[in-house]
Structure 1
Amino acid sequence: MTVADQLQAAIHAPGVTPLAFGLAFVAGAGHAVTPGHGKSLAAAYLVGSRGRVRDAAWLGGSVAAMHTLSVLVIGLAWTFLSLSDLIRMQDLTRWLELAAGLLVVGTGLWLFRRHSHSHASGHSHDHHHDHGRRPGLLVLGASGGLTPSPAAFLVLVTGLFLGRAGFALLLVLVFGAGMAVVLFGVGLLAIGGSTVVTRGARTHAALRLATRAAPLLAAAGITLFGAGLTTVAAIQLTA
């Protein structure tokens, strides 16, 4: 039995099972570990924007918040507004993936413009980067959490049907916390690696060049990745 199946069984069981919250956390962490959930984008953004620990926390938190909101809105619409009569879940997911891809493209272009301006002016605008970094973090986080996990969605819908909406919502919140912890950890690793390279750049010319090019390369990579996500989603929608 998979973790998702165990969560479904927990919804049917009487009372509030503490083990269910542990399973929800593990399921959320596992969901974040699977390919295509923004880990590479998060790392690229934090390296390219010279992020700090609090930026990694903001990114992980925004993904979790957006994922919880997405599951909640779609689950309520699916259960009470007959959304299932209007669109198949597969098609809805593809539309959300298309929107997420466009958000990523927008974030990448915004980053590229900021860093291009910084290079052209000849200095880094560190103070302004501190204040201007957060909008990009939130948009990238929103794109990462826009498409809901099928497991979290089924848990919420099942809870709504069984009259255990509060318990189901708590499980979805814990699921999002599991995602946030994994992405926060990825962010810390990216920041740590970037710090090591930056320190080495003080004595190595090649590393110094790499640190100067990293922001633009990260912005270009994010833009291309978003373009790929958008293209794939568009092809699937028209197939």
Structure 2
Amino acid sequence: MRRRIVLAFALALAILGLLVVPAVATAHPLGNFTTNQYVEVIASGDRLYVVAVLDLAEIPTFQAKAERDRLGRAPYASSLAATLRRGLELRVDGAPRRLTEIRHRLAFPPGVASLRTTRLEVVLDGGTSGSDATATVEISNSAFASRIGWKELVVRAERGAELASSTVPTASVSDRLRAYPKSLLKSPLNLTSASVRVEGGDTTGVEPRLSSEPISAPMRDAGAGTGGFASLIERDDLSIGFVLVALVLALFWGAAHALTPGHGKAIVAAYLMGTKGRPRDALALGGIVTVTHTIGVFALGIATLALSEFIVPEDLYPWMNLISAILVVSVGVVVVRQRVLAARGRDSGHHHHHHGSDDHHHHGHGHHGHSHADMTPEEHARAHLPAPGSGKRGLIAVGISGGLLPCPTALVVLLAAISLHRVAFGLVLIVAFSIGLASVISAIGLIAIGARSTFKRVSFEGRIVRALPAVS
């Protein structure tokens, strides 16, 4: 009865998590870590102009706060514009052109959880394109090359100039980083160079003008929600009632996040089912995931704050993925070894035969803590394998691999809590989020364990099932 209750609770929690998955959102359409760029070369009459746009998501903007405060808004804008300009290389018929800044515009549109994003627009003059012949114009962008994000490049002509050929589009698909297309969010553009043939016009070129409209953050996907978990930190009402509601919501957001791809759910299920894990092992996994994920968020937050000049947060994720993979492979090696030993025990059982004569020797085993007198060789081999679910190291490794990668939204909550001087509230929300995440991991484990007794008609003793932990 107790097992049925636990299984029912696990199923209910998993279904509840599935119901809230559609509301999962990140603040910036491409993620909170991204540094996004747009470069547009304009052949206007007899001149060349370049418009460069920089869109920094919440975390890069937060990291640059110390520099902004030190320099001041105007000098910081000039410094950022100069960085963009230095990363651009314009050539006409193979000869480099000097790009001269005409104007720039800087704004900090609000993002999620009261954190700001950054939008910088710069207009550059590239000199004449030549009106008497077709010229080859080449442009390359190496600014912020190591940062992840959208990189778009467009070339167009106006006022009598024409493009004879081009290797890039003539119109922006993102409206100059104002509205990222939903179909490309999973595989952002990465255009950093172009070569075009330009026929210059006879008229004088006209400088591009920057829009005078208020700058807002990039449009979010309509189905992405409104900030969800991260928006809890910016509420003005911090009454006991709201805090309790916020904790419950944080639990649900953590559960929803756990049901998105990642966090080793398949590995957890296969490991517990194949190693005959017990319910307490599934619950222990949840505890390990909670602690690991919470520590991971705090560690990444410290790196973001204290080591921003030396460490780019998104660069840490591949290393965390590598550590997680090593842990999983290590567990797999141990489980494979156990399966091989079990297989050898079964094989030896097939070759064991009894002699009809009673004239055989007996050896006393009184000094052993157990008797093998009535065991077959296969049972004898199994007796020397680890007891089901007793691999604490494997359990810990699987749990760490499931919680090692911090959710970027949780990091945003931590940074927002610091900026809003609500550190304690932020930490409690992150812990609740981690518990929600871990509860789904535990629920999946409990479902896998309970399935063995619930679906009695299905055999879980076959070779395929025993091999699941190793295969996963």
1:96 is matched with which residue?
320
Shift of 1:14: 5.1
Partner Cα separation in structure 2 for residue 131 and residue 218 of structure 1: 14
1:155 is matched with which residue?
413
User: Which SS does the other structure have where 1:85 is aligned?
Assistant: coil
Structure 1 pair 68–125 and aligned structure 2 pair: CA distance change class (3 A): farther
Residue 332 of structure 2 is aligned to residue 108 of structure 1: yes
Structure 2, unmatched stretches of 5+, are 1-225, 346-377
Partner Cα separation in structure 2 for residue 7 and residue 145 of structure 1: 22
1:41 is matched with which residue?
267
Residue 434 of structure 2 is aligned to residue 167 of structure 1: no
Partner Cα separation in structure 2 for residue 45 and residue 68 of structure 1: 23
User: Which SS does the other structure have where 1:35 is aligned?
Assistant: coil
1:23 to 227, 235, 249: 249
1:212 is matched with which residue?
462
Shift of 1:70: 0.7
Shift of 1:25: 0.9
1:64 is matched with which residue?
290
Shift of 1:144: 0.8
Partner Cα separation in structure 2 for residue 9 and residue 177 of structure 1: 21
Moved more, 176-185 or 130-139: 130-139
Shift of 1:23: 2.1
The structure where strand makes up a greater share of residues is 2
Partner Cα separation in structure 2 for residue 14 and residue 196 of structure 1: 46
1:144 is matched with which residue?
402
Moved more, 159-168 or 186-195: 159-168
Partner Cα separation in structure 2 for residue 181 and residue 168 of structure 1: 20
Partner Cα separation in structure 2 for residue 214 and residue 132 of structure 1: 21
2:362 is matched with which residue?
none
Shift of 1:216: 4.1
Partner Cα separation in structure 2 for residue 91 and residue 149 of structure 1: 14
Q: Which amino acid aligns with 1:45?
A: Y
| TM-score after normalising by structure 2 | 0.42
Residue 232 of structure 2 is aligned to residue 7 of structure 1: yes
Partner Cα separation in structure 2 for residue 125 and residue 139 of structure 1: 24
| TM-score after normalising by structure 1 | 0.79
Deviations 1:110-161 (A, max 9, x none): 1111222233232333883247322211110101111100111111122123
Q: How many residues align?
A: 210
Shift of 1:67: 0.3
Shift of 1:192: 1.5
Structure 1, unmatched stretches of 5+, are 202-206, 223-239
Partner Cα separation in structure 2 for residue 215 and residue 117 of structure 1: 16
Q: Which amino acid aligns with 2:383?
A: H
Shift of 1:214: 4.0
Q: Which amino acid aligns with 1:178?
A: G
Partner Cα separation in structure 2 for residue 186 and residue 126 of structure 1: 29
Query: Does the aligned pair in 1 maintain the 2:276–2:388 contact within 8 Å?
Result: no
